[in-house]
Structure 1
Amino acid sequence: MPHVDPRSARPRHRFGFCAALLAGLALTSTALAQTLTIGLANPVNTVDPHFTNTTANFALSGHVFETLIARDARNRLVPGLAESWVPAGETVWEFRLRPGITWHDGRPFTADDVAFTIARVPHVQGSAGGYSGAVRTITRAEVVDAATIRFHSAQPNPLLPNELSTVQIISRHAGTDANPPDYNSGRAMIGTGPYRFIHYRPGEGAAFQRNDAYWRGAEPWARVNYRFIANDGARTAAVLAGDVDVIEQVPGNDLPRLRRDPRVSIAEISGIRLIYLQADFSRQGGDVPGVTDNNGQRLARNPFLDLRVRRALSIAIDRHALAERIMSGTAVPTGQWLPEGSYSHNPAVGVPAFDPGQARRLLAEAGFPQGFRMMLTTPNDRYPGDATTAQAVAQFWTRIGVRTEVESLPWSSYQTRGRQQEFGFRLGGWGSSTGEASYLLRNVIGTYDRARGWGTPNYGRYSNPALDAMTSRAIATMDDEVRETLLREAVQAAAEDLGMLPLFLLKNAWAVRRGFRYEARADEQTLAASTRPAP
């Protein structure tokens, strides 16, 4: 990462109070009132910024808390609370903080708060790991002075700036001894961000009020209301009725109709969210949950430990049909997890060919000529088309002799049971927010190691030491070109071993009521700061 000169980074334009009010005079009564109401598809389980590593949680708490390094709408690194960062040796990164920033209660933001945050991240009460992977290599946070902090690591870590873009900074004075309930109640919700916390109501929503002293300039919205609306049809109906101003995750089958409706506009962008399938690798015997022979009896062994079975299940799926028909063109079929053109995307890894005949032959070679029975578990309220996609996959697998039923769960139950390795095969999603391949390699298919910060969302407990070694070597390589070559090799190895089965990358779409405009984001976040009164 080269030195970042703050003078070369243009801050995003912000409307002040007066500008927003003048614009609002020509708009709707909602804009006049300076209240923004957003309909979210995914409820969050806490507003503690370090508890759960999901896009929904990160976006919601991101109205109050900020990161040292931010990302723009196209997922590129830009200065945040840090105005610059530069290597200060092979194993040291130095960050210079912006001067004059204060917490919502008026106290100054300093490097000591950053050091406190880094120390807290791996030790959040009740968390299964959260963002611990982002700080895994930091052995010491050295506070040089109030505006300077250095991060020391045991080995070179060229990706530390990317990783720290996922860690929201909290204050020592409000965060000491604070746990998720203290954030949910608002006691510890003291940030530096554009909005102050009003309330969070589990399963219902949250509310924020404008921080008029925000260092980037005051936002146009005096109040932001978030409503959790998990049902696709209900979200569409809410924006058309004017009950909300913006909705996320517009259902693909609603897009043609909404594009023609003068009451709304659509904001779209290609995203970084992969939808994938993952088997259980944690059991050697035949006690895999939901997996039996065709008579309902326990198998002698875990079939998913056989690469031939994994290959059969992969090529039995028509990914193009999933993207075009099931997802109504709102997805891109893939055999990896980064969009084409991204750093460390491997052009040699294509979309797996749909070949049900070869899939049957592979099953027979693996000792399952008559197939077997299995359960595929999916969330039903987390990703666009999640349960519908699982049903389509089940049909593909049933056609090759693997009779598949679908278990569809609310996200909260899915997460809890997933952490306990209760799924024989599952559908999941992952957004590579660091913009490079190692983020998934370390998290989704990296060998589970809580102390190291690897494999937290690897519910299937897939483990490939050779792939881990390739990943470790890549992320310790400071040269960008050499590191990209190494990561591409790891992508190829992952595609060959199938510790997960990539299906497609999502396109992101928001529907916005007339009088508002939304800057579509590749990282899938739905933010009040991305919403403006329409000119």
Structure 2
Amino acid sequence: MISLRTATLLATPLAALAAGVAPAALQARELSIGLAAPVTSIDPHFANAAPNSSFARHIFDPLVVRAPDGRPVPNLALSWTALEDNLWEIRLRPGVKWHDGRDFTADDVVFTFGRAPNVPNSPASFGGSLRTVKAVEAVDPLTLRIATSAPTPNLPIDLAAIAIVSRHVGEGASTADYNSGKAAIGTGPYRLVSYTSGSGIEVTRNDGWWGPRQEWEKVSFRIIPNPGARTAALLSGDVELIAAPSSSDLPRLRQDGAIRIFERQGSRALFLSPDFSRAGEVPFITDNEGRPLPKNPLLDLRVRQALSHAINRQGLAERVQQGMAEATGQWMPPGAFGHNPAVPVPAFDVAKARSLLAEAGYPQGFRITLHASNDRYPADAQTAQAVAQMWSRAGIATTVETLPFATYLTRMARQEYAMVQNSWGSTTGEAGSVLLNIVHSYDQPRRLGASNDTRYSNPKLDAQIEEALSTMDAAEREKRVAAAVAASVEDLALIPMILFKNAWAARRPLAYEPRMDEQTLAMGVRREN
């Protein structure tokens, strides 16, 4: 590998010729990035998970992309216009080529919209982003008409989640075909070279990309879930940029003159999701003697309130996350669209938690297992352990089982757990994303509640969510979204805990443009003298 450092040895055309290297090699630059979480598939529609979507941006283009601050900006779509409340027209970018040289057309978008919500064995569908799309028409090769079943003011933002794939390659292609590279033909700034599940990915620059020429000729992504190992790889120069540096390593990294830190408040919340799918016995819940309980205690709001009050959120943010998170009672930071200032951070009150448990009929508590990933979010396993200790002090004896994210996600989607530590990054920049995908009842035909893996269901709240997200007037829509946030928190459809801050660390002279959506993109890495 010609690294950033060694490439500078060939500083002039004369030096390059003397070394027997063609002048074109002077432009060659390679970049190595250490990722914190695994990319579980190259198929951009297999799982609506941030690591997958982040990497997909290198190979596949969406119609709309999000700027680092979350704003939607044109990409394959040059413009979008609401002709009517239920009808949108999208003008596509001309001259775009697939990696194999074929022309990108509106028909590829029609194919993509049919494929994205219907990938076999998907553990987290993209259906929510296309929930109201009723019909898609290719008016001509560069014009689309999208008819929706209801007013959908967020449609342009929703479309940013959908990577566009080609009909001529994607028709009949399986997820395995994308993982092997056979079907990984996109319009993006990079081409796939190799993918090794759980280990690494290599890409090379697409010199035929319609956008600005990328600085990096080759990029290697290394999957390094262990935060200490990521820091070590950065300090040794094995990688030039790492995502999500450990909060415990940040003070040391800040003092290292060879390292720069880039931060931004994120829109990812960490929360707990109780199982609502069973009325009777629930796996991983027993009485204190180990006998299954005859009914699901998590269906009792008082039990959920007790679990919430037993959590010291400030302690999680300050001690477990070491300042790289904020305590929260909802899932969007102040100032974000739909954040409800009337929803407080729940009080940490162990006595109240015990009182609520007794009132619900569990004066001696019960036993529960909390399931969590151990390689996906900052200090995810440690946070779960801390919550378990807090719950145990309140009378609910809690054990923790952590798993690799890919396994955890698949089992969670099958409702195998009683309580999960879960997370959602609202990359749309507004609170409706969680309401739509996680709080709304699971309704596969209507593509609602696509990530509602614990099967919470509240028909009254469903109607409130749908009305809010169909309101075209922005000010009124925000009021209704904020009201739905308050209603879901009151019923504890999920138990919010903390909001993460996003961080990256890079070796000088590299710089990274920090993003609200936590995506780690080679396109955002540049050299600064």
TM-score (norm 1): 0.93
Aligned to 2:321: 327
Q: What is the distance in 1 between the residues matched to 2:216 and 2:204?
A: 8
Are 2:38 and 1:47 aligned? no
Are 2:86 and 1:98 aligned? no
Aligned to 1:8: none
Task: Say if 1:129 and 1:453, in contact at 8 Å, map to a contact too.
Answer: no
Are 2:360 and 1:366 aligned? yes
1:300 Cα deviation (Å)? 2.5
Are 2:365 and 1:380 aligned? no
1:456 Cα deviation (Å)? 2.8
Gaps of 5+ in 1: 1-20
Q: Which amino acid is 2:114 matched to? A: A
Among residues 298, 304, 323, which one is paired with 2:292 in the alignment? 298
Task: Say if 1:266 and 1:510, in contact at 8 Å, map to a contact too.
Answer: yes
Q: What is the distance in 1 between the residues matched to 2:91 and 2:241?
A: 36
Q: What is the distance in 2 between the residues matched to 1:171 and 1:459?
A: 30
Aligned to 2:29: 34
1:33 Cα deviation (Å)? 4.9
Among residues 196, 202, 209, which one is paired with 1:201 in the alignment? 196
1:25 Cα deviation (Å)? 4.8
Task: Say if 1:25 and 1:32, in contact at 8 Å, map to a contact too.
Answer: no
Q: Which amino acid is 1:317 matched to? A: I
Task: Say if 1:376 and 1:406, in contact at 8 Å, map to a contact too.
Answer: yes
Aligned to 2:338: 344
CA shift in 2, pair 1:60/1:253, >3 Å = same
> SS of the counterpart of 2:248?
helix
1:298 Cα deviation (Å)? 1.5
Among residues 506, 520, 526, which one is paired with 1:526 in the alignment? 520
1:211 Cα deviation (Å)? 1.0
Task: Say if 1:129 and 1:450, in contact at 8 Å, map to a contact too.
Answer: no
Task: Say if 2:261 and 2:503, in contact at 8 Å, map to a contact too.
Answer: yes
Aligned to 2:252: 257
Are 2:185 and 1:190 aligned? yes
Task: Say if 1:23 and 1:533, in contact at 8 Å, map to a contact too.
Answer: no
Task: Say if 1:102 and 1:192, in contact at 8 Å, map to a contact too.
Answer: yes
Q: Which amino acid is 1:533 matched to? A: R
Task: Say if 2:126 and 2:450, in contact at 8 Å, map to a contact too.
Answer: no
Q: Which amino acid is 1:57 matched to? A: N
Q: Which amino acid is 2:282 matched to? A: V
1:457 Cα deviation (Å)? 2.2
Q: What is the distance in 2 between the residues matched to 1:232 and 1:300?
A: 42
Aligned-residue CA RMSD in angstroms? 1.6
Matched ranges for 1:393-432 at <5 A:
393-432=387-426
Are 2:118 and 1:144 aligned? no
Matched ranges for 1:212-291 at <5 A:
212-285=207-280, 287-291=281-285
CA shift in 2, pair 1:36/1:144, >3 Å = same
Q: What is the distance in 1 between the residues matched to 2:149 and 2:48?
A: 25
Aligned to 1:7: none
> SS of the counterpart of 2:58?
coil
Aligned to 1:153: 148
1:173 Cα deviation (Å)? 1.1
Aligned to 2:80: 85
> SS of the counterpart of 1:63?
helix
Are 2:430 and 1:436 aligned? yes
1:22 Cα deviation (Å)? 8.9
Aligned to 2:102: 107
Deviates more, 1:444-453 or 1:388-397: 444-453
1:455 Cα deviation (Å)? 2.2
Q: Which amino acid is 2:200 matched to? A: G
Among residues 298, 303, 309, which one is paired with 1:309 in the alignment? 303
Q: What is the distance in 1 between the residues matched to 2:201 and 2:124?
A: 24
Q: What is the distance in 2 between the residues matched to 1:24 and 1:177?
A: 47
Task: Say if 2:49 and 2:124, in contact at 8 Å, map to a contact too.
Answer: no
1:299 Cα deviation (Å)? 1.4
Q: What is the distance in 2 between the residues matched to 1:151 and 1:477?
A: 18
Q: What is the distance in 2 between the residues matched to 1:95 and 1:153?
A: 13
Q: What is the distance in 1 between the residues matched to 2:425 and 2:62?
A: 18
CA shift in 2, pair 1:129/1:244, >3 Å = closer
Q: What is the distance in 2 between the residues matched to 1:480 and 1:239?
A: 44
Are 2:55 and 1:60 aligned? yes
Runs of 4+ that moved beyond 4 A: 21-26, 30-33
Aligned residue pairs: how many? 511
CA shift in 2, pair 1:24/1:167, >3 Å = farther
Q: Which amino acid is 1:161 matched to? A: P
Q: What is the distance in 2 between the residues matched to 1:226 and 1:124?
A: 25
1:390 Cα deviation (Å)? 0.6
1:126 Cα deviation (Å)? 2.2
Q: What is the distance in 2 between the residues matched to 1:128 and 1:323?
A: 29
Q: What is the distance in 2 between the residues matched to 1:390 and 1:495?
A: 21
Q: What is the distance in 1 between the residues matched to 2:27 and 2:394?
A: 59
Task: Say if 2:124 and 2:413, in contact at 8 Å, map to a contact too.
Answer: no
Q: What is the distance in 1 between the residues matched to 2:423 and 2:164?
A: 25
Task: Say if 1:447 and 1:462, in contact at 8 Å, map to a contact too.
Answer: yes
Task: Say if 2:66 and 2:73, in contact at 8 Å, map to a contact too.
Answer: yes
Q: What is the distance in 2 between the residues matched to 1:23 and 1:474?
A: 59
Q: What is the distance in 2 between the residues matched to 1:96 and 1:67?
A: 13
Q: What is the distance in 2 between the residues matched to 1:463 and 1:236?
A: 42
Q: What is the distance in 1 between the residues matched to 2:353 and 2:360?
A: 11
Aligned to 1:450: 444
Q: What is the distance in 2 between the residues matched to 1:157 and 1:24?
A: 54
Q: What is the distance in 1 between the residues matched to 2:205 and 2:224?
A: 23
Aligned to 1:14: none
TM-score (norm 2): 0.94
Identity %: 50
Q: Which amino acid is 2:242 matched to? A: I
Task: Say if 1:246 and 1:510, in contact at 8 Å, map to a contact too.
Answer: yes
Task: Say if 2:317 and 2:324, in contact at 8 Å, map to a contact too.
Answer: yes
Task: Say if 2:123 and 2:409, in contact at 8 Å, map to a contact too.
Answer: no
> SS of the counterpart of 1:259?
helix
Q: What is the distance in 2 between the residues matched to 1:531 and 1:88?
A: 38
Gaps of 5+ in 2: 1-6, 13-24
CA shift in 2, pair 1:525/1:23, >3 Å = farther
